[in-house]
Amino acid sequence: MSTSVERDSGQIITVLESLRQAVAKGDSDMARELAARLVEEDALSLLLHLPERELSRLFDIVGDEALAEVLSRLDERDAADILEHMSAAQAADILEEIDPDDATDIIAEVEPEFHETILVAMEPEDAAELRELMAYPPESAGGIMTPAFVAISPEMRADQAVAALRRVAEEAETVNYVYVLDEQEHLLGVLSLHRLVLTRPDSPVRELMFDDPITVAVEADQEVAARLLTERDLLALPVVDSEGRLVGIITADDVHDVLEQEATEDIERLGGSAPLSEPYLRASPILLFRKRIVWLLALFMAQFVTLAIYDHYEGLAAEEALLSLFVPILIGTGGNVGSQTVTTVIRAMAVGEARPRHFLRIVGKEAMTALALGAVMGTLMFVRGAVKGGSDFGLTVGLTVLVLVMWAAVVGAILPIALSKLRIDPAVVSAPFISSFVDGTGLVIYFTLAGALLHLNAT
């Protein structure tokens, strides 16, 4: 594995060096070819290492369109860093070639003192688009939409609409849909290019359009918009304001980044850490400390409860020495089952497969699953315990596994639903909490069953 990575790194460095040589020689054709190879090899971040003079010369030789393609593949922070090493005019030319929604994300990361300078250097129409998009919250539907859509009048015939589309062929090719608007820009319907081109030329647009399109409010959360587009298998999702005016569209490539971001945040929360606000390699140790310390301290303090419970049963453990030997595996089993359950339920809730109203179905499903799991693991534990301490002891640890697995699964099913009802993100609490909770309650279950089945005295 390491050999492959080293070989890939060597190839990337060779491409970069060749690119520098092409820039130095003024070989524009070779420079464009090598820039395209950087895109294909996913080595765009290497542009960050080019000195300002080489970046400026690269802009002159390769051109703003080619560099715009390169920057659009970068993380917006890396792209912003590159723009800050260029002149305002060069940065403006590049941003004008990038889709407005992506350009908005990039310029939002540019240093404030350079930010406005770039906007002033841009074409007024392009700058106005970016300013409008920047007015929406970054994590809203408006924050990820693009204003590049094709609109037609409902009074047009099909041939008139096709003629209008030829004048904006680029947008028509990328959008796949045209949007039918009235004079006040209210969305009346949606029409696929395929249907428009293949229909009779004299067919009225009003009769061809789908007049009940799925839309999303401009202020809606970006994850809501992303889920709506993917669940309905749409190529584009119209975004409307409070009065029903079409202000933009969200496309599949827009929601890909959103879903990746949301999935990353959920994974970080499942580990008991607050999501990072920037890429991992950019995060400082201080930021990582701040994101992790709160829940780590909370869970650390929770372990004192487990310690107190164990101390309470110290006499019983001393009377039957084997009890202490099996504590780690029993508690670990409960924690594993609980973590599996909360992770499964949280994921189902996140993708819309489960809702709080499905409470009984979720708990029942997990309880039945846990019964089967507990029976298998409890049988194995009975055999192991019987070999070590006799049949009574085997029954104790085997039954403990069954009860503990059932308990952990039921709690793991209830917890995410309860937290969501309390408007607390279940992902950030559930998995770490379930382990600590099962540790403490598992000890109570274990020693209570041991005291009853082995006729031991806890005092």
Q: Identify the band that residue 62 occupies on the pLDDT scale cut at 50, 70 and 90.
A: confident
Residues whose CB is less than 8 angstroms from the CB of residue 264 and which lie 6 or more positions away in sequence, other chains included: 275
pLDDT exceeds 50 at position 43: no
Angle at 359 between CA 355 and CA 363, to 5 degrees: 125
Interval 207-224 mean pLDDT: 89
Q: Cα–Cα distance between 278 and 221 in angstroms, integer? A: 20
Q: Cα–Cα distance between 343 and 358 in angstroms, integer? A: 17
Q: Cα–Cα distance between 48 and 260 in angstroms, integer? A: 24
pLDDT at 376: 96
pLDDT digits (tens, 9 = 90+) for 74-132: 778 878 888 888 888 989 999 998 888 888 888 888 888 788 899 989 999 889 889 88
Mean pLDDT of the chain: 80
Residues whose CB is less than 8 angstroms from the CB of residue 159 and which lie 6 or more positions away in sequence, other chains included: 201, 202
Buried b / exposed e along 188-199 (16+ C-beta atoms within 10 A)? bbbbebeebeeb
pLDDT digits (tens, 9 = 90+) for 164-175: 777 665 544 455
Question: Which structure tokens are listed for 198?
Answer: 């293949």
pLDDT at 281: 63
Beta carbons of 147 and 133 less than 8 angstroms apart: yes
pLDDT at 398: 95
> What domains sit in the chain, N to C, each tagged with a CATH number?
2-135 (1.25.60.10), 151-259 (3.10.580.10), 280-453 (1.10.357.20)
* Displacement of CA 249 from its chain's centroid (Å): 20
Type of residue found at 288: L
Q: Identify the band that residue 69 occupies on the pLDDT scale cut at 50, 70 and 90.
A: confident
Query: For 7-21, 297-311, 354-368, which range has the lowest pLDDT when averaged over its residues?
Result: 7-21
Interval 406-414 mean pLDDT: 92
Q: Identify the band that residue 457 occupies on the pLDDT scale cut at 50, 70 and 90.
A: low
pLDDT digits (tens, 9 = 90+) for 287-346: 777 777 776 777 677 777 777 887 777 777 666 778 888 988 988 898 889 888 888 888
pLDDT exceeds 70 at position 459: no
The better pLDDT of the pair 243, 298 is held by 243
Partners of 157 in the β-ladder: 204
The better pLDDT of the pair 268, 322 is held by 322
pLDDT at 430: 59
pLDDT at 409: 93
pLDDT at 25: 78
The better pLDDT of the pair 359, 349 is held by 359
pLDDT at 408: 92
Instruction: Name the helix (H) or strand (E) containing 151.
Output: strand 151-152
Maximum mean pLDDT: which of 257-261, 295-299, 411-415: 411-415
Q: Identify the band that residue 363 occupies on the pLDDT scale cut at 50, 70 and 90.
A: very high
Query: For 80-94, 226-240, 343-357, 365-379, which range has the lowest pLDDT when averaged over its residues?
Result: 343-357
pLDDT at 389: 87
pLDDT at 7: 39
Query: For 190-204, 417-431, 437-451, which range has the lowest pLDDT when averaged over its residues?
Result: 417-431
pLDDT at 254: 78
pLDDT at 9: 46
Query: For 4-18, 275-289, 342-356, which range has the lowest pLDDT when averaged over its residues?
Result: 4-18
pLDDT exceeds 60 at position 40: no
